[in-house]
Amino acid sequence: MNKKTIFVNRLLQRIDKKLYRAESTNCQITRWRFISFTAGFIILVISLFQPSFRFPLYGTAFFCFGCFIFLVIWNTQLKKKILRWQLWRKIKKENLARLQLDWKRIPAKDHPVPSQHPYVRDLDIIGDRSLLRLTTVSARGAKFLMDWLLYPEANMEKLSRRQLLVQELKRRSLFRDKLTLEALCISDKEINGNTIASHLQIPDYPGYPGFCT
């Protein structure tokens, strides 16, 4: 087991612990939401039959409802946090599967490829245990990789520039994972590279609607 595999395994253990604590807290908040709302409602009903204690009971009931609103807000924020941790765990598990060549846990995607290409299958560029499945996440990334491997560029300037870009992204694994995380938080659809690229061409563009559509 190499260092990267050990690191990802430890990271997954920490994520599981954080998720366990967050989910336990979420269950407690849900319970207290019910208690605070029920208590406030009961006190409010009692105040209708106890005129002499109406205002103290009103105050207590409003306090319970205030606690309920606070717990609802906290509960909503915590659910979003739990979702992010769950998606982060999913991303890291896929990374671990790629490191271990665990093909059953690596997502399989259908990418259109030229079936008549002379060596596309011989070199395992496509298929169930292929380079394409192991290294690519998005359809646009798969298309770039296929074009580079199946139709090599003869222009050395373009090749050098491409190698520099790949080397730059290779060092930024955390950036790639966070980009995937943000995309999954927006939608469970695949990242649309064409949409992102077109938005990046617009100077001072206010946000990126349609990030994954």
Neighbours of 71 (CB within 10 A): 20
Neighbours of 183 (CB within 10 A): 21
User: Cα–Cα distance between 96 and 90 in angstroms, integer?
Assistant: 10
pLDDT for res 156:
85
In this structure, is residue 177 part of a structural domain? yes
pLDDT at 64 exceeding the cut of 90:
yes
Over residues 19-49, the pLDDT tens digits come to: 999 999 999 999 999 999 999 999 989 988 8
Question: Are 80 and 119 part of one and the same domain?
Answer: no
In this structure, is residue 106 part of a structural domain? no
Burial class of residue 173, CB neighbours in 10 A (0-12, 13-18, 19+):
exposed
Domain of 193 in residue numbering reads as: 172-213
Number of domains, the chain: 3
Question: Are 134 and 197 part of one and the same domain?
Answer: no
If we measure between CA atoms, which residue out of 84, 87, 127, 93 comes closest to residue 109? 127
In this structure, is residue 107 part of a structural domain? no
The pTM is what? 0.76
